[in-house]
Every structure is written in C-alpha cells, then in structure tokens.
Structure 1
Amino acid sequence: MATLKVGAVGTGGMFKGAHLAAWLANPDTELVALCDANKEAAQRIADEHGIEDVYEDYRELIARDDIDIINVCTPNLYHSEVSIAALKAGKHVFCEKPDAVSPEEAVKMAEAAKESGKVLMVMRNNRFRSVAQFLKTYAEKGHMGDCYMGRCGWIRRRGIPGKGGWFTTKELSGGGPLIDLGVHMIDLAVWIMGNPKPVAVSGSAYTKFAETDLADSEHSAFGEKKSGGVFDVEDLVSGFIRFEDGATLQIEFSWASNIEQETRFVELRGTKAGFSLRNDDLKLFTEIEGTLCNVEPQIVKNGHGHGSNIHHFVEVVQGREKPIFTPEQGVDMIKILSAIYESARLGREIRLD
C-alpha cells in the first residue's frame, strides 16, 4: 500500500516524548506537517527532523487533500474539536488520551468516526506493554476464572505536571490526576476484565497541595509551568466503580500525597487466580494441585507501549489488524471519569444508565 502521510496537531511534551519517534520509525508513514499554536516550537522540531510544512491553524493542515492521518496531541479541551474536524474531512485520527473532557464530546467523536468510516483510536499504550499482553491472554484463556473485583491506581508523592499551566486549569484539562492518570490504569484493569459495562460510580476529590513546588517525579516535568497560574483541579481522587456483571473496581489517583513512593498498580481477583501488578512487577496468586501458590512470571519488558500503540493503529488503517480499542470504549471511559467528578461534587453515587 501507499505510504500514509501524517500531520500532527500539537507538538508539546507528549508528542515529542511519545509520538514523534513512532511516526518517524514506521515504514508505512511519513510525517509531512506539524501544527502548533506555538509555531516557532513546531518549526524547531520540523527543522531537526526534515519535516517540510508547519502551521499555526490546524484547519489549514486538515484541509490538505494529501494528508491521510491526523495525530492529535493538543491540551485535552481540544481533543474532540480537532478529531471531529479531521474525521469529517476524511482523515484517520490517532489522538492522545483522554478521549475528551466530557461524555457528550466523546459521543460526538465516536459518531463522527462511524459516519466517516475512518479509524479513530485514542492512546491506550498500557495495553501494549508485554506484561499487559500476558495478563490479557491469561484472563481470556480462563485462568483467572470469574474476575469479580479489583483495585487500580497511580499515586505520586509529588508529581504535579505543568503547575499553573493547562494541566492544572480545569477548563483546558477537564480535571487533575483522575483524567490525566486514571485513563491509563482504569482502562488497563477494565480491558483485562473483558470490558464490562460500567453502571455506577462514587468518588471523592481533594485539592491539598496547590501551594507546593516540591517535585520528586520525572512526570512533573510534563507541561509548561506558569508562576501564579491557575490551579483549580484536584490533586487526589479515590473512588469505586460498579459494572453490569456485578464486578467492582476501587481506584486512587494522585499527583501529590504523603506516601512512600510513586506507584502504578492494578490488582484483580478472580475465582481461579488473582494478580498484583505494581509498576512492572507481576505476581500471580493461584492454586496448583491443591496448593496455594505465588507465581512470578519472567516477562521481558518492552517499554511504555506508545510506539506499539501507534504501530497497531497504522496496521488497522492498512486493514491488516482489527482494532484493539474502539471509540465506544472511549465513551465508557469518559462517562466513568465525568461521573466520578460529579459524585465528588454531590457526595453521592452516580448511575450511568
């Protein structure tokens, strides 16, 4: 098939750190244009990598007939706006998470993809980690039995990204660590569980560290900090999700809290086995020949999964693979996140049906 021409909208930290190299390395794609409100910053990337065209207005980029794929890495507020415009213009779209800042916008994205017949995929890089692939296969083959309960989270001691900038400005980001980090670990847990339908959530949100400038996480380097800027999002969320099949999931996400160290985790419990995944360390808990056993699979790590996710998207566009992620799953995710924020505001459980 012909080489797919890619145009990127938004060239900040996530694009430079997680997307750029994948597009440049893929034999089926050619990154031909960049667009950013900070045109000078985009021009520097273009000059470094021999990318021909740079734009300040994404509409000019999308209007090009020769562009096949639009990569969206803008602040969260604009994910749906740019994605929908690109889909309506007949482009395939690969968007950084979160899918959108509201369920209504996520639904519009899914509808635009369906109407256009083009591929819409949102970053779910953790599904492509080797340990996640192992756990998905392990669960699908029935080794866990009925997967009925779990816990997941990403908790930081001090790791507020871009304090005072768009990350901590609710209008632009949609929220704090729940919408920033929650997408990753909730998605991983729900995917391994078999994508059960969420029906209700409850949650609490806290903002306790808006005044601190301490940082001990590499992730606090993301985003552009602004002295005296806005901080109107949470720095910690805890919550509970109920699913249609009776399964439940506890969650906790923080940018800052007084804990020992930063940790990403997913724990799931099934009738035949359970597991604990903490950062990239996996332990299985099961029974073998009437004996309770702890098993530590020796899995070769394959990085953070961003490049593999983009490669999979290209394979789907080329018709060689079926999508591991669907826009409908994205709608469910944003419904969960939005309802947890609403539950925290109202102090009660929120039904999703």
Structure 2
Amino acid sequence: MKKTKIAVIGCGTIATSQHIPAYARNERAEIKYLVDIRQEQAVKLAEKYNVPHTAADYKTILDDPEVEAVSICTPNGTHAEIAIACLNAGKHVLCEKPAAINIEEVREMQAAAERTGRMLNIGVVNRFNTAVNKIKELIDAGELGNVYHIYCSFRAHRSIPGLGGQFTTKALSGGGVLIDWGVHFLDLIFYATGQPKVRTVSGAIYNEMAKNMKDYAYVDMWAGPPNYEGTNDVEDFVTGLVRTEGPTISLNGAWAQNIGESAMFVEFLGDKAGIKLQYGGDFKIYSGKDGTLYETSPSFAKQDMFYEEIDSFLESISTMTKNRAHIDNALITSEVMDALYRSAAEGREVQL
C-alpha cells in the first residue's frame, strides 16, 4: 500500500496526544515532517516517532512534492494563513477546530479548497464519536419522533485556560469558551440532526470572572500558568438561542463560573423519546409507552474518534470524496458561532 506522506504543523497538546499518534498507527500514512517554532519540541517528538525531518517554519514543506497532506495544529489565529498556503501548494489539509477566527477567513479557506481541488477537513472530531453516531442513527430512524428542541451545556468551575496567553487573547484565538468548547457541542448537534437550515441566532457573552486577573482564583488552568502581564479580552461565559427550520437549540457555556460543578452534556428532546448525552461519554434514552416510562442505557463498543477522523481524512484523499468533516459540511458551525458573536456585539437577534 502506498503511504501518504504527512507534515504535522504545530506540536502542541492536540498534535502530541492525538494527531501524531494516530498517523503513526495508521498504515496508510507516513509522517515526513514535524513542524514547530519550538525546534526542541519537534526534534524530541521526531526522535520518539522516527520522523525523518523537522522544521521551524511551515513554509519549508510547501515545495516538497512528497508531502501530500498536512495536519494544522497551531493557534487559531494562524489557521487560515497556513491552510490557504498549503492548499495553494497542492496539499490536502486537516485543520484543527475552529476552522479560523472568523467567518470571513473560513470562507477564504473554503474558496481555496474549491479553487485548488484539494481536500480541506476541519477537526470536528465528534462526527466520528461512536455515541454521537448512534444518536444520529436513532434520530434518522425516527426513534425520537419530532425533535423539537436541543439544549447543550459546557460549563466548568473556574477553569479559564492559560489566563493572559493565546487562549484569552482575541486576536490570536478569535474568542473564548464559545470558539474553544462550544464549537464541539454545536457541531455535534448540527451533525446529529442533519444540519437543519438556520433562521435566526441570538446570543450574549460575558467576561466577568477574571476582569482583574491577579484576583482570579482557580481550580484548574490547563494551558497555564497565568501571565498577568498578558491579555484577557474574550468571553468566559456564553448563552444563546438558535432557531432552525427543525429544532430550536439553546446553549450555556462557561470556562469559569461561581458554581462548583461541571455540566457537560447535550439533551435531545423529541415527542416520542429524549436522549441525554454526557459529552465524551455514554447516553440515556427516556421514553414512554402504554402508560409506562422507560429509561434505557445503551452499551456498545467505542471507537477511537481521533483515529477514525485521521483514517477518514486519509480515505478521502485516496478517493477524492468529501467526508463528513469536509469544510462544506462543517461550515454551518462557523456561521452560527460568528452569528452568536455578532448578536452579542450588536445586542440583537441576527438572521442567517
């Protein structure tokens, strides 16, 4: 089997924990380059995974005809530039979520993929999650009846990531908890429900918990430690309502809140049955028949969703077929997030 030669651009947490190991395990792929501005990080990983080349600048790989595809695992603000450059160089692209920091950049990426005829997939990994696909099958089969509303919660207790760093600097990240966590919840909802056309979006965002960064007490700070000389100009809380031609969708998300409990779940409400999915975990089905109420806890073997995402990307390159994570299929999530931010900024409901 001919192996697709890969460059992984950005060797941070998502690359080291998911992308690099998944490519290394897949017989379709061979990693030729690891790219990171921190050369010592790239060299260390190259030694671990027997990768022959490292580079500090992604432009190094653009003129290498052997490199057919790239994974982009860099900060949000660099996604569009790197993706478009790689597409223009004839490379297929898997870009981590969010696609970019605003909808204009996302559409430029989509246009570049169309123009060059290369595949552009987004890291909407829940589309490859076994539980999410089981739920989609149940909805498609009509087991829930009319799915009229979906509620999602992605809330944590005082867990702003890397306060003062790239996650809390809008110019680098594009936003806070919505673009970081909400992207996954919204995308799995649209995927599971067949991507109903969106009519209106209304949202509000708040930056309350660390307005004075030095006074912010926390229980967790992944991507830390805090940089008190840095910037915090993104939301730590978001709420919103999305009206579609199918169900309405409501959401509440918080990196940090003064409630000492996490709440990470999605509820699908149908007139025949409802489902509550614990994010990243199992789900329960609630239904009733002949005056009796039922609660069902399905049990099933779970696939590694990151491996499946990578394998599907490699398959789409081989067949030149757009898969479920292609930019054309994932665009709706970026459009809705952009509309939520616009609604919050303008204090009004936004039509799509």
Q: What is the TM-score normalised by the length of structure 1?
A: 0.93
Structure 1, unpaired ranges of 5+ = none
1:96-245 equivalences in 2 (<5 Å):
96-210=96-210, 211=213, 214-217=217-220, 220-222=221-223, 225-243=226-244, 245=245
Deviation (angstroms), 1:225: 4.5
Classify 1:224/1:112 alpha carbon distance in 2 versus 1 (closer, same or farther; 3 Å): farther
Give RMSD over aligned pairs. Answer: 1.9
Q: Quick one: distance in 2 between partners of 1:149 and 1:306? A: 28
Q: Partner of 1:283 in structure 2?
A: 284
Classify 1:138/1:332 alpha carbon distance in 2 versus 1 (closer, same or farther; 3 Å): same
Q: Quick one: distance in 2 between partners of 1:98 and 1:341? A: 14
SS of the residue corresponding to residue 69 of structure 1 reads strand
1:26-105 equivalences in 2 (<5 Å):
26-105=26-105
Query: Which one-letter code corresponds to 2:31 in the other structure?
Result: L
Deviation (angstroms), 1:301: 4.1
Q: Quick one: distance in 2 between partners of 1:167 and 1:185? A: 18
User: Aligned residue pairs: how many?
Assistant: 348
Q: Quick one: distance in 2 between partners of 1:223 and 1:68? A: 34
Query: Which one-letter code corresponds to 1:85 in the other structure?
Result: A
Q: Quick one: distance in 2 between partners of 1:276 and 1:308? A: 24
Q: Partner of 1:298 in structure 2?
A: 299
Q: Quick one: distance in 1 between partners of 2:138 and 2:28? A: 32
Q: Quick one: distance in 1 between partners of 2:57 and 2:37? A: 7
Q: Partner of 2:331 in structure 1?
A: 331
Classify 1:302/1:3 alpha carbon distance in 2 versus 1 (closer, same or farther; 3 Å): closer
Residues 204-251 of structure 1, C-alpha deviations (whole Å, 9 max, x = no match): 11112222554434xx323664342111111010111111x1421001
Classify 1:294/1:204 alpha carbon distance in 2 versus 1 (closer, same or farther; 3 Å): same
Q: Quick one: distance in 1 between partners of 2:92 and 2:225? A: 29
Determine if contact 2:190/2:333 at 8 Å carries over to the other structure.
no
Determine if contact 1:62/1:70 at 8 Å carries over to the other structure.
no
Determine if contact 1:128/1:309 at 8 Å carries over to the other structure.
yes
Q: Which moved more, 1:229-238 or 1:56-65?
A: 56-65
Query: Which one-letter code corresponds to 2:62 in the other structure?
Result: I
Q: Where has structure 1 moved over 6 Å in runs of 4 or more?
A: none
Q: Quick one: distance in 1 between partners of 2:87 and 2:161? A: 30
Deviation (angstroms), 1:2: 1.3
Classify 1:295/1:336 alpha carbon distance in 2 versus 1 (closer, same or farther; 3 Å): same
Determine if contact 2:147/2:246 at 8 Å carries over to the other structure.
no
Q: Quick one: distance in 1 between partners of 2:101 and 2:8? A: 20
Q: Quick one: distance in 1 between partners of 2:194 and 2:296? A: 22
Q: Quick one: distance in 2 between partners of 1:28 and 1:225? A: 40
Structure 2, unpaired ranges of 5+ = none
Q: What is the TM-score normalised by the length of structure 2?
A: 0.93
Q: Partner of 1:22 in structure 2?
A: 22
